[in-house]
Amino acid sequence: MEGISYQRFPKIRIREMKDDYLKFDLTDTDASMANALRRVMIAEVPTIAIDLVEIEVNSSVLNDEFIAHRLGLIPLTSDFAMGMRFSRDCDSCDGDGQCEYCSVEFHLNVRCDSDQTLDVTSADLRSTDPHVVPVDVAARALSTDPASFDSDQRGIIIVKLRRGQELRLRAIARKGIGKDHAKWSPAATVTFMYEPEIHINEDLMETLTLEEKRNWVESSPTKVFDIDPNTQQVMVVDPEAYTYDEEVIKKAEAMGKPGLVEIYAKEDSFIFTVESTGAIKASQLVINAIEVLRQKLDAVRMQDAEADFKEFSEHMGV
């Protein structure tokens, strides 16, 4: 198709990076791109989660479905999930989803023999693949300082057992995406905000008394503005704290000074916050998301554009 090229070259600038937290700027692109990235991170990046539970013995107080549901929600380390097969696409196991290429088996065998309540936790899950373990187990194994983990916190509690109660089961973890079930979602929170652009009308601001300035500054629930203790001038301390609630603008209008401040959202600049469940690192989550997005675009490109267009125009009745 002919036309102007809208091609742009988005940039990412990483601001803060931890294992399970990432904050970065995405610039030179638009909301559709940013939102697509967000949606893919939540719902399309694959992880591994327990999907099938065979319960042999369950004499605990929780019923089988409840335990199966709880097991499914335990995040498993999924660094290799991108390379793994979906069990529905797996050739080597006839689709029953129990081969080494598409699944990981877990075993749990706990019985309480003491008078104290026994917590069955994710640490009791025995994995057949050392790469796929509950995230808290992995974190403890990696941690250099074992003391940093409280001995009370033995992991994610699955069920509590009393004397004589037993839980024995086999679980199969598979690859999946958050769209199918929330347990496969690697993201705890993914959000982005438009970077705000704040212009204070300095002349108008000077007409305010210090008291008025202070009132105006305090009208924002978040700390966006502050008063310079020396010059007593209002300045923007943290534009990103602005929540677009327009409280300051309303306040200015209420004070009879409309136009005291002008705030715009930059159309092409986004600040992303990504929190991971731990299944994959937050940074990896972004990379995987871009990868998934690219695969999707490839899928579109691979199709016969010509035929596609023909079909489209037929559809439109042209």
User: Which residues are at the interface with other proteins (CB under 8 A)?
Assistant: 31-32, 34-36, 38-39, 42-43, 55, 58, 61, 63-66, 69, 73, 178-179, 181-183, 185, 189-194, 221-223, 241, 243-245, 247, 265, 273, 275
Residue with smaller CB distance to other proteins, 33 or 93: 33
Provide the minimum distance between the beta carbon of 12 and other proteins in the complex, in angstroms, as a whole number. Answer: 17
- Please, what is the minimum distance in Å from the beta carbon of residue 245 to other proteins? 5
User: Which lies closer to other proteins via its Cβ, residue 91 or residue 262?
Assistant: 262
By C-beta, is 90 or 171 nearer to other proteins? 171
User: Contacts by 217-223 with C-beta closer than 8 Å and gap 24+?
Assistant: 219/247, 219/248, 219/250, 219/251, 220/245, 220/247, 220/248, 220/251, 221/245, 221/247
Least distance in angstroms from the C-beta of 277 to other proteins: 11
Nearer to other proteins, 42 or 279 (CB): 42
Q: Which residue's CB is nearer to other proteins, number 183 or number 281?
A: 183
C-beta of 182: minimal distance to other proteins in Å? 4
Q: Which is nearer to other proteins, 52 or 90 (CB)?
A: 52
Distance of closest approach, residue 108 Cβ to other proteins, in angstroms: 15
Query: CB count, 10 Å around CB of 267?
Result: 11
CB of 66 to other proteins, least distance (A): 6
